[in-house]
Structure 1
Amino acid sequence: MKKIESYLPYLAGIAISVIFGLSFLFTKQGLDDFSPMVLLSYRFGIAAVIIGMLTAAGIVKVNFRGKSLKGIFLLALFHPTTYFITETIGIKYTSSSEAGIMIALIPIVVMVLAMIFLKERPSVIQKLFILVSVLGVIFIIIMSGSLKLQGHFMGSIALIIAVLAGSVFSVLSRKLSKDFSSIEITFVMIVFGAVFFNLIAVIKGIMEKDLYNQYITPMTSLNGVVAVLYLGIVASIIAFFMQNYMLSKLQATNTSVFTNLTTIISIAAGTLIRHESFYWYQLVGGILIILGVWGTNFFNAEPVKNDMGKQAGM
C-alpha cells in the first residue's frame, strides 16, 4: 500500500499536466465570447460556489483559527491573481500552443528560487534532465519560428510575467504546506480569485456602461458556457486540489518539471481537436520533454536537512 501511495503524487502531476494542457484550448475558446477579466470572474465564481457548497456540507474541512493568513494571501496575489490575468492575456494575443510552450519555462525559474529560498539541492543529474526537458521546449520554439510569438509583443510579455508568478507560487506553496492543508490553500485561492476577478469585471462594466453585454450576454454562447464549466470545475477545483497535494509531497524542483508535459498536451490537443498541423520537430521536442520529466523525478534530489521554515527564510 505504501508503495502505491508513493506513486500518487506523480500520477497527480501527470493528471494536472493533461488538465492544464487542455485548459489552454478552453481558455482560447472562452475568449471568443468573453473578455479576459469576465472569463476569469466566471471561472473562479463557479469554483467558489462549488467549494463553498462542499465546505457547508462538511465534505471539505478548513480551519484557519490561530493561523496567520498573511503568507497565504501573498500566495493568492501571485496565483491565481497575477498568474491567471497574465496567462489569459497572453493566450488572447498569442495562441494556446505558444502559451503552453512559454509556461513550460517555469521549471528553470523554480529551480533557481528553490535553491535560494528553500535550500533544495537538485542533484547534478537532475539539473541535466531539467535542461534536457527545457531544450525540448526551445527546440520546438526555434523550429516552429515561435520565438517572435507571431509579433504579439504584449502577449509574450504577459506570458513571461505568468512564468514568474507561477514559479513563485510553486515555491511559496511548498513552504505554506507546513502550516496549511492543500484544501485550505485551495479554498483561499479560489475564494480570493472569485472576489477579485468579479469585483474588477463588474467595476469595469459599470464604468464603461456596458455591464450587461460584457457580463451576461456571453453566457448565451454554448461554447462559452462549456469553456467556463471546464475551467471553473476541472481546471480550478480538481486541478488545484491535486496540485497542492502534489506540492506538499514532492520537492518544488520535482513538481515544477511536470509543467513541461503541459506543452505536449497543448500541442496534441491542438492537433487532434483544432486540427492543427503536427510536425516532426514537435515529436522530437516532445520526446526530449518527456525524457526530462522522467529523469528529474527518477533521480531523487539530495535530502534537505533543515526544516522547511528555516529554509524559506520567511
Structure 2
Amino acid sequence: MLYQILALLIWSSSLIVGKLTYSMMDPVLVVQVRLIIAMIIVMPLFLRRWKKIDKPMRKQLWWLAFFNYTAVFLLQFIGLKYTSASSAVTMIGLEPLLVVFVGHFFFKDKAKWFHWLFGAMAFIGVAILINGGKNNEGIDNISLFGCLLVLSAGIIFAAVLRWTQRVVAKVSTQAYTSVSIVLGTITTLPFTLLLTENWQISLNSTGIAGLLYLAIGCSWLAYWLWNKGLNSVDANISGVFSRT
C-alpha cells in the first residue's frame, strides 16, 4: 500500500506538468519522448529479463504495454491538449468508480459497500478541489471531446488492472516494469507517426524539466512503485487509491 501511495504522489502532478511540456513540442511527441527516456533507463534490465520470459507471456506483455502505456498516455495527453488540466483531473477522478464497476460486473470481483463508498468519495473529493479553482480557468477552456478522451484512458486503465495484477505476480515487478516500458515505447511509434500534428520542437528549460519529470518520475519510478504494491492489495482498493 505504501508503494502505491508514493506512486500516486508522483502521478498526481503529471497532467499539470504535461501542460508545461506543450510549450516545447506536440503532445504526441511528449508521450513518445518520455517513453524513450524511460526506455533508456530500463534497457539493461530488459535485456536480462526478456530472454527468460516464455512466448505466451510475451504476447500478454505486448498487449499490456500497449494498453497501459500507448493507449492510456496518448488518450490522456491528446485529451489534455483540448481541455483544461482541472477538467482532465476530474475525469481521472472517475477511475476509482470505473475500477469497481468493471470488476463487479465483468470480472465477478464482487465489490463490497465500502469499495463503492470510497470510490465515490475519491471522485467527489477531486470534483470539490476542481470546483474551487474553476473560476481561475474559465468554462471556455473545458472541452467535452478532451474530457471524453481522458475518460477513455481511465476506462482502459480500469479494464486491464486485474490482468496487469496477474501478470506482475508471475513475472516480478522489475521484469514487468522494464519490459512493459520498452514494449510500450515500441507500440507507441506508429501512433506517433500518424497522430503528430506539429513536428517542430522548441527547447526551453521548463519543457525539458517537465519532460524529464514525466519520463523518470511518472513513467518509470511511479510505475515501478505502483507495480510493486499491486499485489499487496486487491484490485478494487488499488482502483480507489489510483486517484485519491
TM-score (norm 2): 0.85
* Secondary structure of the corresponding residue to residue 231 of structure 1: helix
* Cross-structure match for 1:229: 212
* Cross-structure match for 1:32: 23
101 and 62 in structure 1: CA distance in 2 versus 1, 3 angstrom threshold: farther
Deviation at 1:24, TM superposition (A): 1.4
* Secondary structure of the corresponding residue to residue 49 of structure 1: helix
* 1:137-286 pair list within 5 angstroms: 137-140=126-129, 144=134, 150-202=141-193, 214=200, 217-218=201-202, 220-261=203-244
- Which residue among 111, 125, 136 is the counterpart of 2:114? 125
* Cross-structure match for 2:53: 64
* Secondary structure of the corresponding residue to residue 150 of structure 2: helix
Please tell me whether residue 52 in structure 1 is matched to residue 43 in structure 2: yes
Deviation at 1:142, TM superposition (A): 5.8
| Distance in 1 (alpha carbons) for counterparts of 2:121 and 2:191 | 41
Amino acid at match of 1:238: L
- The number of aligned residues is 242
- Which residue among 84, 91, 106 is the counterpart of 2:73? 84
- Which residue among 5, 8, 14 is the counterpart of 1:23? 14
* Cross-structure match for 2:33: 42
Amino acid at match of 1:260: R
Instruction: Name which one, 1 or 2, has greater alpha-carbon Rg.
Output: 1
Amino acid at match of 1:132: M
Amino acid at match of 2:187: F
Between stretches 89-98 and 33-42, larger displacement belongs to: 89-98
* Contact 1:120 1:251 survives alignment (8 Å): no
Deviation at 1:78, TM superposition (A): 1.6
Please tell me whether residue 75 in structure 1 is matched to residue 75 in structure 2: no
Could you give the per-residue CA deviations for residues 208-241 of structure 1, whole angstroms, max 9, x where no partner exists? 8x8xx53xx33x3222211111111111111111
199 and 221 in structure 1: CA distance in 2 versus 1, 3 angstrom threshold: farther
* Secondary structure of the corresponding residue to residue 34 of structure 1: coil
Could you give the per-residue CA deviations for residues 265-284 of structure 1, whole angstroms, max 9, x where no partner exists? xxxxxxxxxxxxxxxxxxxx
| Distance in 2 (alpha carbons) for counterparts of 1:126 and 1:194 | 34
Between stretches 227-236 and 111-120, larger displacement belongs to: 111-120
* Cross-structure match for 1:285: none
* Contact 1:90 1:158 survives alignment (8 Å): yes
* Cross-structure match for 1:274: none
116 and 62 in structure 1: CA distance in 2 versus 1, 3 angstrom threshold: farther
Between stretches 165-174 and 249-258, larger displacement belongs to: 165-174
Amino acid at match of 2:95: I
* Cross-structure match for 2:82: 93
Amino acid at match of 1:94: T
Say what the alpha-carbon RMSD is for the aligned residues.
Answer: 2.8
* Secondary structure of the corresponding residue to residue 109 of structure 2: coil
TM-score (norm 1): 0.68
51 and 157 in structure 1: CA distance in 2 versus 1, 3 angstrom threshold: same
* Contact 1:39 1:228 survives alignment (8 Å): yes
5+ residue gaps, structure 1: 1-9, 262-314
Q: Which has the higher helix share?
A: 2
54 and 187 in structure 1: CA distance in 2 versus 1, 3 angstrom threshold: closer
Between stretches 21-30 and 70-79, larger displacement belongs to: 70-79
148 and 76 in structure 1: CA distance in 2 versus 1, 3 angstrom threshold: farther
Deviation at 1:85, TM superposition (A): 0.6
* Secondary structure of the corresponding residue to residue 6 of structure 2: helix
* Cross-structure match for 1:281: none
Deviation at 1:55, TM superposition (A): 4.4
* Contact 2:111 2:236 survives alignment (8 Å): yes
* Contact 2:100 2:115 survives alignment (8 Å): no
% same residue: 24
* Secondary structure of the corresponding residue to residue 120 of structure 1: coil
